Amino acid sequence: MRNLILIAAALVVVSVSTGAASSEQVTADDVLAMAAKLPAEGKALAAGFEKSADAKAIAAGIAVNASDRVDAARMLVYAAYESSLTIHVTGDGGASRGPFQLKNVPDEVAYDPARAAHYWLYLASKSRQLCASNPPDEQLASLASGNCQKARVKVRRREETARAIAGQ
């Protein structure tokens, strides 16, 4: 029952973009081009994420869910830094699964790049609400760490990286 509630809640998400609404269509090729620019976390040089065996599938999943380039870049940064753009990966002792390292979701969601990206947007939206008192670039702290105070520097750097690879 809890899984059904989580999935139903994810279906109401439209976007977590902090900017104005955009009709800009992002393609999987756009996401892969951003992946080619993406450095490893905390590094300056591109890390070759676009060469991951699952990069195309994850890029397609991101593209169908992103509202604009920055939204796509943000999802890409989190997927790359959490899973190295790998679909069938687990972490946190098996509690986190898939490219976005989701918890408490069925495997059918965690391991499906499009459904996982959609659910990640829901979680990001919830984090923005929970952490609304944080500066905008730190509002995904709850998503990254479970609360609004931890990981603020990490998520701020991820936001900066997302904007850089999106060309913003």
The per-residue pLDDT for range 36-87, each reduced to its tens digit, is 999 999 999 999 999 999 999 999 999 999 999 999 999 999 999 999 999 9
Q: ∠ CA 4-17-79 to the nearest 5 degrees?
A: 65
- Write the pLDDT tens digit of every residue in 75-127: 999 999 999 999 999 999 999 999 999 999 999 999 999 999 999 999 999 99
pTM of the complete model: 0.87
Return d(Cα 158, Cα 156) in angstroms, integer: 5
Least Cα distance to 82 among 60, 100, 102, 95 occurs for 100
